[in-house]
Structure 1
Amino acid sequence: GFYIVAYAVGIYYLNLLLLFLTPSIDPALEDDDDGPVLPSKSNDEFRPFMRRLPEFKCWHSAMKATLIAIFCTFFEFFNVPVFWPILVMYFIILFFLTMKRQIMHMIKYKYIPFTVGKPRMAGKEDTGKVVVG
């Protein structure tokens, strides 16, 4: 039972995931150079990925949605008889189509939503000399 509640929570989780993976400043909407931009070359200054939905708010919203869904299962009103395989197939199709669109957006605007390969500051090599000061 309660397939509609589970489906609604799944759609909300998918929405949270998409907000978590998108940048706070969408390069598709921002064509001017007034605001901060994503680095486009390897020699550009390192800028961390700024998310539209920060990690803590994502987890907080997911926990609230989970608690609300659990609360909804206490009422028989939300136990609507549905054919659950259709909901599962529709959710899988929706997930793959939205993730394909999101990945194409990432490829088009050349951004990665995770900080990978951050340049590290390297000091001079140790020569073994002791500096007395």
Structure 2
Amino acid sequence: MIIEEQIEENLIYKVIHRVKVNYQKKIDRYILYKKSRWICNLLLMLLYAYRIQDIGGFYIVTYIYCVYQLQLLIDYFTPLGLPPVNLEDEEEDDDQFQNDFAELPTTLSNKNELNDKEYRPLLRTTSEFKAWQKSVFSVIFSYLCTYIPLWNIPVYWPFLFCYFFIIVGMSIRKYIKHMKKYGYTILDFTKKK
């Protein structure tokens, strides 16, 4: 009995491992095609928007999808090593919390005196490829949720629409405050030519 369970667990582990390896092989093929990936993502978003418009429902799913996309965008433009933007207001008075995170470098160290003119862009919290991957998964998941009638909760969509833009405004304000506090801009991520 115990041996059969171990064999079954081992078989499940091998199948899961094989699926992960095959998935990684397939996804690694697309890493070089940045524009094509984002165009494909845009087409999936348009397909989702058409489905929502066609069936006339699932506004809660769409709202959650849009909030998730907003969070992905904020993570994409936040430098690595800083506290998350959403924790900024909650922990503002706690000096111990602020000391736990590294600050952005303002000067080069003595080791890099030879490379004074070298420009190094900031590293992102979420890489472009991971942001694309999460965005594709979220739009596919949202699209699949539209086939489950349980998720079609009746709601007056103009309220959700207005509430979403209030959240966008508050998030942008919080993000600008975060950028001023830690001294970075969105342009710091781009390469100088």
Q: TM-score over 0.5 for the alignment?
A: yes
Instruction: Indicate the residue corresponding to 1:78 in structure 2.
Output: 151
The higher-RCO structure (CA 8 Å, 6+ apart) is 1
* Deviations 1:33-70 (CA, angstroms, capped at 9, x unpaired): 9x6x53436x7863211111111100110000000000
Work out whether 1:106 is the aligned partner of 2:179.
yes
Work out whether 1:18 is the aligned partner of 2:74.
yes
Change (3 A) 1:67 1:116: closer
Question: What is the RMSD of the two structures over their aligned residues, measured on CA atoms?
Answer: 2.7
Q: Normalized per residue, which structure has more helix?
A: 2
Displacement of 1:32: 7.7
Aligned counterparts of 2:164 and 2:100: Cα–Cα separation in 1: 37
Q: Gaps spanning 5+ residues in structure 1: where? A: 121-133
What amino acid maps onto 1:87 in structure 2?
L
Work out whether 1:9 is the aligned partner of 2:65.
yes
Instruction: Indicate the residue corresponding to 1:125 in structure 2.
Output: none
What amino acid maps onto 2:124 in structure 1?
R
What number of residue pairs does the alignment pair up?
117
- Normalised to the residue count of structure 2, the TM-score between the two structures is 0.53
What amino acid maps onto 1:14 in structure 2?
L
Identity rate of aligned residues, in percent?
A: 36
Secondary structure at the residue paired with 1:26? coil
- Normalised to the residue count of structure 1, the TM-score between the two structures is 0.75
Give matches, 1:54-93, under 5 Å: 54-93=127-166
